[in-house]
Chain A
Amino acid sequence: MSPISSSLRVQYDLRPAKQVERRMIVDALQRLQPAGFSITDYQYTGFGAIYFVDFILFHKLLGMSKLLSLERMTGLTTRMEFNKPFKCVDVKMVSASSAIPNLSRDIRHIVWLDYDGVIHKDFLSDIQSAVTVLPAGSILLVTVDVEPPEDYDYKQVNPDFDGSKEVLGPKHWKNYFEFQASTYLKLGLTESDFGRVELRSRTAEILKASFTRSIVPRAQMEFLPMFNFIYRDSHWMLSMGGMIAGPTEKRQLLSTTLRDTEYYRDNFDTPPFEIAVPRLTRKERIYLDREMPCADGWTPKDFDLDAEELRKYRDIYRFLPAFAEILV
């Protein structure tokens, strides 16, 4: 195995970009508090699996104590219960589609549908449910894989598909997207719109359309975009989300300092914020941190660093975890 792929493999285990995303979300939620959004009292619903990383962050950094983790795989029940980090984390072995209509309508929610697969009709139906029932002031985040669908995914479209005889390409990916989300796609798309790199744009369009379609029937309500991240620890992932807001919440949201951040996206038509983690040594980071936030055009004197890498670092240094080995 080459040195590069090995380093990528290590990165995958630790998932630094994902962690930056989580820290940015925490930062955003902290910025909502002074505008009158009492995040501490919100309920967080997510897919904690057996790690509960987001639950730990939200409880410790935001003081949230209504925490609900959903899991469909009943085989994980005992491990989830065993790994529950706090007493206030509730674990339910049900799908999001069953849990969402039962979320209390009397409190506000943060719901993070952190899927690990490519776009699927079940995701769209969960989004529809969440946007339909969550009270104003609630926040919905959706994460999906934007790599091309694989053989396993494509078998939903064509159960007879044989990966050993045929290689998946844009034709199949177009079929797959049409199968899962036909009514959310723009008209007139051709195979060339479903090339590998195009899939993230198609997915973003579908997610945007599903937020819009579900909010339109709610009188006086809007889905106000807040997050649009793209990042890659191993697969390219896309996270989009925002707030279900009436006129009051909209005013409150506009009065926050979110606009001052690099990652805030109040419009899904602007390109997503790319969380790019530059490869830096610990020593380089300590050196750079002393100069952060740096002025435009500043470069380190003691070693050469590409200006683009430096800009990326400036965007994320506050959120970037430092990994170290501990011997236990």
Chain B
Amino acid sequence: MRYASAEVRKQFFIDMFTRDISLEDCVLDLIDNSIDSYLLKHGISISQLIFGPDPNGAKRGFGRIDVTCNERQIKVVDRCGGIPRKRAMDEIFCFGHDPDDQAGKLGAYGVGMKRALFKIGNKFDIVSQTETEGFEVSLTIDDWAKEKDWRVPIKFVDGADSEKQAGTSITISGLREEVALRIKEGGVPNNILSDAATTYPYFLNQCVKLRINEIDVPPKTISLGESEGIVTAAREKLTYNGVRVNLAATIAPGQRTTEEAGWYILCNGRAVVRANKDDLTGWGPDLASFQPKYRSFVGLASFESDQPLSLPWTTTKRDINRESAVFIHTRNLMVTMSKPILTFLNRQYPSDAATEVGDIRNAVGGVKEVSFREIASKPTAGFSYTPPKKKDKKNDWVRFQAPIALLDKVRRHLRRPSLTPSDIGRYTLDHFVKTECGTD
């Protein structure tokens, strides 16, 4: 048997696999790793964060992540526990995870950090210290790319001495020309901030605090609404191949913009798809095309697994793999859940003047924020709207036209020329009730 060459060429590898991801998403990949360190160190499950209650939440301190982004360098420094030497030696510089490696929750593929390093700059310095041990790696990528050897030189250093100081620092310098250009163009730190705010609503200020260029990143929560006895959210759950899926779809509280409407998809708590309104989540052929009248629609799909590779995310974690079996299973449910909500929202704008329009608009405007946890804890059911019961009326209008001559006749009879027509109406009704109906 002869063998044809099928080796991986380093330079091609570096150039190719950095093309399909944005600069911002590369930085988020590094943040993912920091969050993963924290989750691993404290044994926190994703369910605790999303569905709580998190019994130890108050006791443990926050992990801290600081991102610096300027025209010279991009730096991510965390105090989230650090990387053990063994993982540094055997795992983190490899492409893809070893099957025996204790997988993180957000680092699914084992490519995020390497791809970020290659994409952003020509030089990187990593220092990581757990409480007891540490290591350093400094590498110039262009030099490394010329060598056949895929290994990376590593130096051991001391631990951080205290749990609080334990963490990892990644500095990428010698920025690639196109990266430097984008940063120079402006807006990159703002993008990272807003992307992080919407990507980590279940992590920020729950387990980690994140700052971009010294600005705190507040979580941008995904708001779901219900109103007691009137609007109830649709909720479904299923488990497929070890992936736990929880779904909720409903009306969002407050004033909404069309940008916020749509489906949000979480993979292990990380928002992978935000405000989706296209075929991915059933809009278009299966439901209806999105229109501004649907701006109050919100759906939340959470996929959770201890094996992140089973989740339906793509490697950039910014999209869903449509060929994922668990997603195919879930998508029909998402469509089924959405349809009644769109029908309900359509009823705000009927083609004929219907009396219910006011009730529907009040219901849409009247929903109050409820947590995903609260919705998901209820048994599976579809969206429901119960029109408010009409209150039993105590009073009603009596209104009719009467000849002025007759009204004058009553005024003359009572010798009260100033009586208004409604006074006369009331007087004559009272009189009739008193004299004809009795006191019963």
Contacts and interface: CB of A to CB of B under 8 A. Distances in A.
Contacts of A128: 286, 332, 335-336
Interface in B313-360: 328-333, 335-337, 339-340, 343-344
A99 B382 CA distance: 8
A133 interface: yes
Contacts of B332: 128, 131-132, 214, 217
Contact of A132 (B336, B383, B384): B336
Interface centre among A95, A131, A219 (most CB of B within 10 A): A219
Interface centre among B240, B331, B339, B381 (most CB of A within 10 A): B339
B287 A102 contact: no
A130 to B, nearest CB: 9
Contacts of A99: 382
A98 B336 contact: no
Nearest to A105: B380
A133 B333 contact: yes
A248 to B, nearest CB: 19
Mostly, the A contact residues are helix
Interface in B218-232: none
B329 A218 contact: yes
Contacts of A216: 328
B388 to A, nearest CB: 16
Contact of A101 (B287, B329, B340, B344): B340
Contacts of B336: 100-101, 128-129, 132-133
Nearest to B284: A183
A121 B335 CA distance: 13
A234 to B, nearest CB: 29
A11 interface: no
Interface in A102-138: 102, 105, 121, 125, 128-129, 131-133
B333 A132 contact: yes
Given A97-B340, A217-B332, A218-B329, A102 B384 contact: yes
Interface in B275-295: 285-287
A182 interface: yes
Contact of A100 (B287, B328, B329, B382): B382
Nearest to B379: A105
Q: How many A residues touch the partner, as a band?
A: 20 to 34
B340 A183 contact: no
Nearest to A214: B332
Interface in B123-161: none
Interface centre among B240, B286, B332 (most CB of A within 10 A): B332
B26 interface: no
A101 B381 contact: yes
B53 to A, nearest CB: 27
B382 A182 contact: no
Interface string A63-99: 0000000000000000000000000000000010111
Nearest to A125: B339
A125 B340 contact: no
A76 to B, nearest CB: 15
B382 A98 contact: yes
Nearest to B342: A97
B234 interface: yes
Contacts of A129: 335-336, 339
A281 B9 CA distance: 87
Contacts of B330: 217
A98 B335 contact: no
Contacts of B335: 125, 128-129, 132
Interface string A201-225: 0000000000000101111000000
Contacts of B333: 132-133
Interface centre among B234, B240, B329, B340 (most CB of A within 10 A): B340
A98 B285 contact: no
A183 B343 contact: no
Nearest to A216: B328
B329 A102 contact: no
Contact of A95 (B240, B343, B380, B381): B343
Nearest to B344: A98
Nearest to B328: A217
A101 B328 contact: no
A217 B241 CA distance: 13
Contacts of A105: 380
A98 B344 CA distance: 9
B402 to A, nearest CB: 34
A179 to B, nearest CB: 11
A124 to B, nearest CB: 8
A258 B295 CA distance: 50
B380 A219 contact: no
A152 to B, nearest CB: 15
Contacts of B382: 98-102, 133
A102 B381 contact: yes
B411 to A, nearest CB: 45
A134 to B, nearest CB: 11
A132 B282 CA distance: 14
Interface centre among B240, B330, B382 (most CB of A within 10 A): B382
B234 A98 contact: no
Contact of B331 (A101, A125, A217): A217
Contacts of B381: 101-102
A98 B240 contact: no
Interface string B358-390: 000000000000000000000011111000000
Contacts of B380: 105
Contacts of A219: 240, 329
Interface in A179-206: 182-183
A96 B259 CA distance: 30
Interface in B251-288: 285-287
A95 B340 CA distance: 9
Nearest to B286: A125
A265 B406 CA distance: 79
A183 B286 CA distance: 10
13 contacts: A95-B340, A98-B339, A98-B383, A100-B382, A128-B332, A128-B336, A129-B336, A132-B332, A132-B336, A133-B382, A182-B285, A216-B328, A217-B331
Q: Which 10 A-B pairs have the closest CB atoms?
A: A101-B382, A98-B340, A129-B336, A102-B382, A132-B332, A217-B329, A97-B339, A217-B328, A132-B336, A217-B332
Given A105-B380, A132-B336, A217-B331, 11 more contacts: A97-B339, A98-B343, A98-B382, A100-B336, A101-B339, A101-B381, A101-B382, A121-B285, A133-B336, A133-B382, A183-B285
